[in-house]
Amino acid sequence: MQGTYRTAFITGASSGIGRGLAAWLARRGVRVFGAARRLEELEALAREVQSEGEIVPVQLDVADARSTLEVIRSIDESCGGLELVVANAAIAPETPGHALAWDTVEQIIDVNVRGAAATLGAVADRMVSRGSGHLVGISSQAAGRGLPRHVAYSASKAFLSNFIEGLRVDLGPRGVKVTAIHPGFVRTPGTAGNAFKMPFLLEVDDAVDRIGRAIFRGASDFSFPWQAATVSKLSRLLPNGLWDRAVRGFGTPGD
């Protein structure tokens, strides 16, 4: 698999899946531009893998969509063209419908919707001009239906999944690969505070290896683990009344 990509850009690279995927790619010969708000965490990651690969820390807050566009385009120019761009950064604070805090909803939209769209759209046209490239969005199995206490998060992931699919339809014939990743529950800092039982929970290294291999083989859509993916698919067939009763009091897959 080594040498599949020369350069990659990943958001949310300071922790969780993003951190693990940045290291996974770097160890396979990819020069990774790892972006996040916490520069010190990125620098620590770069030192951790420096004997095996290269991670270039990029301090960036994807909630600022305009800045995200500018930073990615600048890196694309300076490195001779990004070959892989991964929109991974996301947040998942609770947004219960009965106590909806607009500040929280707005923050989720800024990061998970505007930030992700800016990340994936920043150099899409340039990849088309080059006739190659790969765009990857880390969505969630929460995208399938609206979920209790996380109404904004599940909606944001539904947006991302459909945005990725539209990109795939448009860009595939133009030589650009597009991949949607739909993880179930993964043990990361983002899920550490969940008070409910997380079925089919995966360790982050396992999840990262699965995601990395799906990217390298050019999968158009990858949902995992299969047990959770099956439940997610079946849930879309349930009538609204059954769905409502089934998920009340339950949680949501996180990043």
Question: Which residues are catalytic, by number?
Answer: 153
Whole-number Å distance between alpha carbons of 119 and 254: 20
User: Contact 25/19 with Cβ under 8 angstroms?
Assistant: no
Q: How far apart are CA 148 and CA 134, in angstroms?
A: 34
Measured in Å, how far apart are the chain's first and last C-alpha atoms? Answer: 25
Nearest to 114 by CA among 178, 180, 57, 61: 61
Question: Which contacts (CB < 8 Å, 24+ apart) does range 143-149 have?
Answer: 143/182, 144/232, 144/233, 144/235, 144/236, 145/235, 145/236, 145/243, 145/247, 147/247, 147/250, 147/251, 147/252, 148/96, 148/97, 148/247, 148/248, 148/249, 148/250, 149/94, 149/95, 149/96, 149/251, 149/252
Q: What angle do CA 218, 22, 223 make, to 5 degrees?
A: 40
